[in-house]
Amino acid sequence: MDNLEQIKKAVEIEVKYKYININGKTRSFSSFICSELRKEIKKTKNPKWQVLLEHFEQYQMDTLPQRKKSLERLVSVIKSETGEKQVEKRSEVLSLKSDVMYLKGIGSKIAYILNKLGIYTVSDLLYYFPRKHVDYSTRTRIRDLIPDETTTVFGTITSVQAFTTKNNLGVVKVRIKDSTGSISLNFFSSKSSKFTLERMKAQFPKGSGIMVSGTVKLNSYDGMLTLDKPAYSIMDDEILNSSNLNLARIVPIYPLSENLNIKTLRKAIFNTIQLFKNDIETILPQNIIEKYQLLEKKEALEQIHFPNDNEALQKARFSLVFEELFLIQLRLALMREENNKNLSSIPLEIKKDGLVMRFIDGLPFELTGAQKKAVKEILNDLNSSNPMQRLLQGDVGSGKTVVACIMLLAAIENGYQAAIMAPTEILAQQHYNNLINWLTPLGLKVELLIGSIRKKQRTISETNLRNGQAHIAVGTHALIQDSVDFANLGAVVIDEQHRFGVKQRLALRKKSQNPQILTMTATPIPRTLAITMNGDLDLTIIDELPKGRKPIITEMVNSRRQIANLIRREVDAGRQAYIVYPLIEESETLSAKAATIEKEKWQNEIFPDYKIGLLHGKLKNDEKDEVMEKFKNKEYDILVSTTVVEVGVDVPNATVIVIENAERFGLSQLHQLRGRVGRSDLQSYCLLSSSTKSQETRARLNIMTETNDGFVIAEQDLQIRGPGEFLGTRQSGLPDMLIADIVNDSKILELARAEAIDFVKNNNINDFPLLKDAKGLNFNSDLFGAG
């Protein structure tokens, strides 16, 4: 490579900035790498660079884990092609890090195909896990064969016939028998020339033993059992050879690409395991291995590919999944320990007749059990010298705001200021109104900081916060601007945290020495996902709605009349309704237009007698607030809106939400929208309007009609869309997983997490070099460094 130093530097910067495809002076990181790779391909014609080029052409569109992987590959190929190449070629010194190309039975041609599957090194090959296994290990007597079962039969060839069907298909029919009966095997060939058929026939010498594995079929016209296209092996040479990888055992099935023969792959993996078995070290601490009866690593790898039996396979999988999840959780636990080491906080105490207690006593309702539990956990955290870093998850309408308010009060009670940050002005305004209502009677001063506030008012607010006159700041990201300073900020609440980037969270944190931080989200991320992504945060879940809430009745509709009737009935009873339109092609402008047109239609054609408000993203902030305020004050009966109302808006008197083109929304988003109603003890309704004919889409929407439980919906959404889509791929922050399945391995995840936390508490990672070096723990440290 000509510009090696420049490339190394670019890679280091890209890694430092966490794979954002950073822009250089003239172009992005990936386009720089692509052009360097093209030069190299022209020069050397080495297929290695070709595969890399394909990866980096994709880079811009890739998820972060994929990007990270591409970078790792780039680095490893650069290393092997420019440095240690000469040494590595000699097979005596092959190591787990060697290029697969140098393995026996794999040349540059197969290596190229493997590279495309992401297999570059010997170790990659060992970690190329089977997609599934097929059990050919059970040997059956012919008499006991059952249609549709996959079995292995041993027999003797009694006759072989070849013929051609009407459609010119060549068929070879082999009849075999054992001591209990006989059965036919059918083999087919698209070439029906006499020559081909003779050659096929010759593979089945009459009288020789044969072992066959396949699925038993019942032939519909003669009622005979057959095996079509079974795997087979003539016995003389192979029957006693237990290392036959394709037959009479539990056989691994791999994700393949074209041109890659599964037998070749099996053999390569099998040989590699045998060759490197003794280089594979067990990474997990011995006490964990014993506690969970995990297999040693080399055994786990061997058994995941070529299990002795089903039990061994399950054990191998458990061991590998455990290790993978443990490593992820260990990294998170170490991060948290590191955080705590550098931070300490003064424990906050709650007095019997202090603000917190007076606030709780003065509430017009009693906290739900889940709210009480959350409050207890939060107050517990606050009362320690480790700053709180907790994520509060609660379904829409579960009452997170009250809990957040209690946390703010705990700080104030101890002489600190507190802040709450919301993602939108509407939400900030709403929190502000709540806090004013709740806290003014307690003699507290609350300031609102949002972009649309006038400069003069803003300066006053900032002054009050700086000199400690004000107790609480509520705002949008306007809160984190440099001009905002606190006298003594002690606690921070971040609402709908997934709407903020890490940077914004850190910026808010920097406004004080070591504030206690509570982040909140109404996006019910299944616990498994939450602790994998946010493992550095503690997790509290509010899984109970306030008493008296009636489940929202959800229905799929496609008639306007039906919608109009329900709205009319509710509005005439003094209630209000939302009608929501989806974002059109990611364009606020188009969506705003569409919503405007629809509003006019509703107004002119259907509800001339009602007052209808319009809310969309193109309105100025104070216009939005005005609309929301009017809706809240019942000056509008109906609010036609784009998805701006999605998060957090709280108008308890609204009892109907109509969601147009519901098929365009993900389930979790629909659930969020639905959460705009059902916020009091009134019966509420959600109408999903969709004209889609797709069975699949209707089935998906149907889930909404069946449950009101956000966590159930999130689980389903996760099942349907997979973690990447579910979280929005770009910023998913999910670690790459080779074998663990975040949806189905949640039990193992909990175990691994508990062990990782325990490990960090009781050990020093430096005493466990293997663990410390394990994949994923130290990727960022030194890419081009030794090893």
- Residues that bind Mg ion in the complex, under the rule CB under 5 A: 648
Pick what 666 binds: ligand ADP, Mg ion, none; C-beta below 5 to 8 Å, kind-dependent: none
Instruction: Provide the token pair at 468.
Output: 């400690």
Q: Are 759 and 285 in contact (CB under 8 A)?
A: yes
* Given 114, 176, 289, 402, the residue binding ligand ADP (CB under 6 A): 402
Q: Are 290 and 115 in contact (CB under 8 A)?
A: no
Q: How many residues bind ligand ADP (CB under 6 A)?
A: 18
The β-bridge partners of 121 are 99
User: Could you say whether residue 398 binds ligand ADP (CB under 6 A)?
Assistant: yes
Q: Are 544 and 369 in contact (CB under 8 A)?
A: yes
Between 367 and 712, CB nearer to ligand ADP: 367
**DSSP sequence for 546-607:** PTTPPPPEEEEE--HHHHHHHHHHHHHTT-EEEEE-PPBTTBHHHHHHHHHHHHHHIIIII-
User: Could you say whether residue 400 binds ligand ADP (CB under 6 A)?
Assistant: yes
* Given 235, 360, 367, 765, the residue binding ligand ADP (CB under 6 A): 367
Stretch that binds ligand ADP, among 289-297, 346-354, 380-388, 392-400 (CB under 6 A): 392-400
Instruction: Report the C-alpha gap between 608 and 723 in whole angstroms.
Output: 45
Stretch that binds ligand ADP, among 26-34, 399-407, 410-418, 567-575 (CB under 6 A): 399-407
CA angle, 776 then 781 then 783, to 5°: 90
Between 155 and 397, CB nearer to ligand ADP: 397
Minimal CB distance residue for ligand ADP? 399
Between 269 and 396, CB nearer to ligand ADP: 396
Instruction: Provide the token pair at 146.
Output: 């059952």
CB of 427 to ligand ADP, least distance (A): 9
Pick what 73 binds: Mg ion, ligand ADP, none; C-beta below 5 to 8 Å, kind-dependent: none
Between 329 and 368, CB nearer to ligand ADP: 368
* Given 170, 526, 546, 710, the residue binding ligand ADP (CB under 6 A): 546
Rg (C-alpha) for the chain, rounded Å, is 33
User: Could you say whether residue 365 binds ligand ADP (CB under 6 A)?
Assistant: yes
Instruction: Provide the token pair at 673.
Output: 């929208």
For tokens 């806290």, the residue is: 439
User: Could you say whether residue 684 binds ligand ADP (CB under 6 A)?
Assistant: no
Closest by alpha carbon to 33, among 65, 16, 17, 9?
A: 9
Residue 8 to residues 21, 29, 43, 112, 784, Cα–Cα distance (Å):
15, 12, 20, 24, 8
User: Could you say whether residue 98 binds ligand ADP (CB under 6 A)?
Assistant: no
Stretch that binds ligand ADP, among 284-292, 577-585, 645-653, 747-755 (CB under 6 A): 645-653
Between 102 and 438, CB nearer to ligand ADP: 438
Pick what 779 binds: Mg ion, ligand ADP, none; C-beta below 5 to 8 Å, kind-dependent: none
Between 300 and 396, CB nearer to Mg ion: 396
Question: Crossing angle of helices 400-413/369-382, nearest 10°?
Answer: 30
Minimal CB distance residue for Mg ion? 648
* Given 67, 458, 599, 679, the residue binding ligand ADP (CB under 6 A): 679
Between 231 and 508, CB nearer to Mg ion: 508
Q: Are 315 and 276 in contact (CB under 8 A)?
A: no
* Given 387, 394, 490, 678, the residue binding ligand ADP (CB under 6 A): 394
Instruction: Report the C-alpha gap between 334 and 705 in whole angstroms.
Output: 43
Pick what 723 binds: Mg ion, ligand ADP, none; C-beta below 5 to 8 Å, kind-dependent: none
Parallel, antiparallel, or unpaired for β 446-449 and 612-615? unpaired
CB of 216 to ligand ADP, least distance (A): 57
Parallel, antiparallel, or unpaired for β 446-449 and 417-421? unpaired
Q: Are 350 and 379 in contact (CB under 8 A)?
A: yes
Between 475 and 648, CB nearer to Mg ion: 648
Between 582 and 648, CB nearer to ligand ADP: 648
In the chain, DSSP finds a helix count (H) and a strand count (E) of: 28, 21
Pick what 348 binds: Mg ion, ligand ADP, none; C-beta below 5 to 8 Å, kind-dependent: none
Pick what 427 binds: ligand ADP, Mg ion, none; C-beta below 5 to 8 Å, kind-dependent: none
The β-bridge partners of 225 are 218
Parallel, antiparallel, or unpaired for β 150-164 and 170-178? antiparallel
User: Could you say whether residue 650 binds ligand ADP (CB under 6 A)?
Assistant: yes
Instruction: Report the C-alpha gap between 695 and 448 in whole angstroms.
Output: 48
Between 398 and 464, CB nearer to ligand ADP: 398
CA angle, 599 then 601 then 604, to 5°: 105
Residues of this chain that interact with ligand ADP (CB under 6 A) are 365, 367-368, 371, 394, 396-402, 522, 546, 648, 650, 652, 679
